[in-house]
Amino acid sequence: MIEYLKKDLIMKSTDAITTISNAIKDHTKWMESINITLICDVKPSDNMLDLNAHKKCKFGQWLDENSEALKAIDLDTFLEVYNEHQALHSKAKEILDIAYDKNFMNIVKHQTIPEMKYKELLKLSKDIKGTLRKFRSNIYSS
């Protein structure tokens, strides 16, 4: 029985490492879509503007579904990833709300966003990738 539990934990850890590696790739693609939206004046998707976007993306759903197992592996880093992920989606929504301001007739007018807001988004993006790498390393070590 103990050997089965160990094998199950190893399988879950392997799945977590793969998922976190994929999350880093998905995050890069997501940032690209945010940049294309902002730079090319492409209308943001509804998911980008949703208040709970961090729970609707593939990685956010995986975090929620596996939260107990991930907390057991490394609670502090799990919480750091979870909070950074939520903050990243929140900052993206804030920037997109500024960039695509609607006037009183509900006509969307593309606005320039403050440089500082964009730098905050870039910092959050860099931070979450670093934390994801740390989390992946911690899982690999356990």
Tens digit of each residue's pLDDT, the chain (142 residues): 334 333 444 445 677 788 888 888 888 899 999 999 888 888 888 888 888 999 988 888 888 888 888 888 889 999 999 999 999 999 999 999 888 876 555 556 778 889 999 999 999 999 999 999 998 888 777 6
Tracing tokens 């934990």 back to the chain, one arrives at 9
- For residue 5, what pLDDT is reported? 36
Gap between the Cα atoms of 100 and 115, Å rounded: 16
Contact 138, 84 (CB under 8 A): no
Could you tell me the fold of the domain covering 2-141? Four Helix Bundle (Hemerythrin (Met), subunit A) (1.20.120)
pTM confidence score: 0.79
Residues in Cβ contact with 82 at an 8 Å cutoff, skipping those fewer than 6 apart: 63, 67
108 pairs with which residues across the strands? 102
- C-alpha separations of 17 from 24, 46, 88, 93 in Å: 11, 30, 21, 28
Query: CA 52, CA 44: separation in Å to the nearest integer?
Result: 15
Residues 6+ apart with CB under 8 A from 68: none
Query: Token pair 């730098």 is at which residue?
Result: 119
pLDDT at 36: 93
